[in-house]
Structure 1
Amino acid sequence: MADSPSSQKISDLSEEEIIRLFSGSSIPRGAMGIGDDCAASEGPGGLERLISTDLLVEDVHFRLDSINAEDLGHKALAVNISDIAAMGGTSDGYFLSLALPGMVSINWLQRFRNGLTDLAQKYDIPLLGGDTTRSESHIMISVTIMGIVNPDSLKLRSMAEPGDRICVTGPLGDSVAGLKILSHPHKYQSLSDNHRKKLIQRHCKPDPAVYEGKWLGQQDEVHAMIDISDGLLSDVRHIAEQSDCKIEIALDRLPLTPAFEAFCSIEGTDKQARELAAVGGEDYQLLFSVAESHISDLKDQFREKFGKPLYDIGKVTKREPRIVTLWDGSPVEVNEQKFKHFS
């Protein structure tokens, strides 16, 4: 017999299911709320105001023995900057709230501040306020970021169209590999120091695609866009559902770094490596759909501007909200593990 709703616990729910419990709230006319990387509403001078927030909790999202204070400060802000970039916008201010146990050293806090403010200064994003309070045992970090975007440059998850190609701005899988190395260091001792350091850095110190997001937002032929935080397949599913489109992803076309390929030679086959890259998460590349008739020109312009390629990894086919994963042109099943915060 299935559990009744009253007997279920939040540990039975995924993050998406928890969010859906709150998504029925009324939204003011002209604003957009739950469903994209940011909320959006009318901003100054005819622009759209973007707002996003994120919460990091010790022993849920990070462990102090696996990430240094500077990198944690960097990451706390980077994941929010990435949300603004995924909407085609520019970040222009943030708020920071901290819950800290009394045993946290002042030195640790100063180094956390340095990592955060170094990234903020790089992109000229001022700290506008926040809050602090005491925590009994765990560090909790909440960043709320604001940005602006021209309405013509705003990219939503609901904008994909049948006939579009699906592209990503960079390699996938490095972050999940870095996490696995940190969690099981002895298993990957055969990796070179160079590969190990690169993968760990991609996990601990992600580089948001700030300039790429703003530029892609200005391209009319780019339709839907999202950043890859939950994992390629989870995030492309958001586009499929909100655009009411079937999307095919070619696993054998996913871009991988040499470091990730070396890591996966320990894990298993090439197919298993690409499946891991498709579900791993926290890559913070941008995933977007683009009109097929313009993809060749867009790839040339992107390479000329940023000195790196765009990767064409799939296509939007018809009005049917689902994902199909392919290997060598044939459908294959990929096992996705839904992250549960309370399990």
Structure 2
Amino acid sequence: MADSLNSPNISDLSEEQIIALFADSLSSADGIGIGDDSSVTEGPSGLKQFLSTDLIVEHVHFRRQDISAHFLGHKALAVNLSDIAAMGGRPNGFYLSLALPKELSVSWLRQFRDGLLALAKKHNILLLGGDTTRSQNDIIVNITITGVGKPRQVKLRSEAKVGDVLCVTGTLGDSAAGLKILSNPDQYAHLTKSERQQLLESHQQPKPEVEKGQWLSQEKAVHAMIDVSDGLLRDAHHIAQQSQCRLNIELEQLPLSQAFKSFYEKNGINKQAQEFAVAGGEDYRLLLAVAEDAVKDLQKRYKQKFSTILHQIGSVSKGDSEVEILRDGSPVEVKEQEFKHFKES
């Protein structure tokens, strides 16, 4: 990191390094600021106030030809809702800022609005304001979301404990597979229509796990939580750093959907599929560290509540603040899908 930070070019910096330039210069204050899925400050009636923001830029985060305006509106809000979910909060409103090129049609804007507000209605939150301006060429979407939660139920990245069990709330890799299909559609002709649709929907219409986050936040045995947005490997690393412990992820235990398995079935590369799932991004599942003596009971009640499995995928141990990927109990090296903003393709 030090070498990159001394570079004169911003294209040499990762997202984490850019954030660190600001975070390392700030003195600590009451509440939680940079370093978690959202900030946490004092809110109304003894509650905690959450606030998070995300920026989506054309040709950096999406290509206009690959996603409908309706789906883009949905996704722009979904990624913000996922941040509130990871903190165990209840979303209560959001702000929208748009920079739009002059050639964009009003029909496109209406469809974007419909996708955005349909998801807002589903989660019973209101659009509270925002801003609009014109851009030179690209669509730029920024959403700032607010939420609230009970003080004792706030879940942070920094509270994982040695001996905890790592769990994830759903399957991994579907969104990254959907992106691959969009980039090379002819390469995956072996997929059925339903398999292709499932993988594309995972990428274009992610389902933020707000209800699951709120339910898990009530559990004292859940020590730390984060949403899986940058990929399981990178997001696990955030917990490792913040909690100052080692996270061990077992590839054989990763939950993979049948559609994702079919995505790799043509070549039969199971090991590569596991590595792709652990490194791929935009799953928007929740990764949590749970007390070992409570995990079985939590899994049982989670299944009763949501009719799905809380998957055990690894453990927390003493050691450097790193993530170790294991296959058959032995460490393997998996390359992160590192994304650098401002890097020209």
Structure 1-normalised TM-score? 0.97
Is 1:195 equivalent to 2:195 in the alignment?
yes
Query: Which residue is equivalent to 2:214?
Result: 214
- Cα 1:4–1:333 change in 2 (3 A) is closer
Aligned to 1:120: 120
Q: How does 1:86-235 map to 2 (within 5 A)?
A: 86-235=86-235
AA at the equivalent of 2:314:
G
Map of 1:254 onto structure 2: 254
Q: Which residue matches 1:18?
A: 18
Residue 30 of structure 2 corresponds to 30
Q: Are 2:254 and 2:313, in contact at CA under 8 Å, matched by a contact in 1? A: yes
CA-CA distance at 1:226 after TM superposition: 0.1
- CA offsets 1:66-124 (integer angstroms, 9 cap, x no match): 00011000000000000000000000000000000111100000000000000000011
1:140-188 Cα distance to aligned partner (Å, 9 max, x none): 0000000001010000000000000000000000000000000001111
3-state DSSP class of the match of 1:65? Answer: helix
Q: Retained in 1: the 8 A contact 2:4–2:12?
A: no
CA distance in 2 between partners of 1:189 and 1:10 (Å): 39
Task: Select between 268-277 and 202-211 the one with higher mean Cα deviation.
Answer: 268-277
Deviates more, 1:268-277 or 1:47-56: 268-277
Q: Structure 1's 171 and 7: CA in aligned 2 closer, same or farther, altered over 3 A? A: closer
1:171 is paired with a residue of what secondary structure?
coil
Amino acid paired to 1:87: M
1:303 is matched with: 303
Structure 2 equivalent of residue 242 of structure 1: 242
Indicate the residue corresponding to 2:292 in structure 1: 292
Residue-pair matches, total: 342
| Residues 267 and 273 in structure 1, CA contact (< 8 A), matched pair in contact too | no
| Unmatched runs of 5 consecutive residues or more in structure 2 | none
> Partners in 1 of 2:156 and 2:70 — Cα distance?
32
Distance in 2 of aligned mates of 1:266 and 1:288: 33
Please tell me whether residue 266 in structure 1 is matched to residue 266 in structure 2. Answer: yes
Q: 1:4 to 1:71 in 2, by over 3 A?
A: closer
Partners of 1:11 and 1:23 in 2: CA distance: 19
Q: CA deviation at 1:268?
A: 4.9
Give the structure-2-normalised TM-score.
Answer: 0.97
Cα-to-partner distance string for 1:31-75 (whole Å, 9 max, x where unaligned): 211100001101001111000000000111011110001100000
Aligned-pair CA distance for 1:320:
2.6
Distance 1:327 1:141, change over 3 A: same
Cα 1:207–1:65 change in 2 (3 A) is: same
Q: CA deviation at 1:27?
A: 5.4
Sequence identity of aligned pairs in percent?
Answer: 55
Aligned to 2:335: 335
Contact 1:27 1:33 in 2 (8 A): no
Q: CA deviation at 1:26?
A: 3.3
CA distance 1:293–1:7, shift in 2 (3 Å)? closer
RMSD between aligned alpha carbons? 1.4
Counterparts of 1:335 and 1:275 in 2: how far apart (Å)? 8
Q: What stretches of structure 1 of length at least 5 have no aligned partner? A: none
Instruction: Give the whole-Å Cα distance in 2 for the aligned partners of 1:7 and 1:302.
Output: 48
Q: Distance in 2 between matches of 1:287 and 1:178?
A: 21
Q: What SS does structure 2 have at the residue aligned with 1:240? A: helix
Q: For the structure 1 residues 267 and 93, does the alpha-carbon distance in structure 2 shift closer, same or farther, using more than 3 Å as the test?
A: farther
Deviations for 1:213-239, whole angstroms, at most 9, x for unmatched residues?
000001000000000000001000000
* Contact 1:244 1:321 (C-alpha < 8 Å) held by counterparts: yes
Give the whole-Å Cα distance in 2 for the aligned partners of 1:281 and 1:236: 12
Divergent runs of 4+, >4 A: 2-7
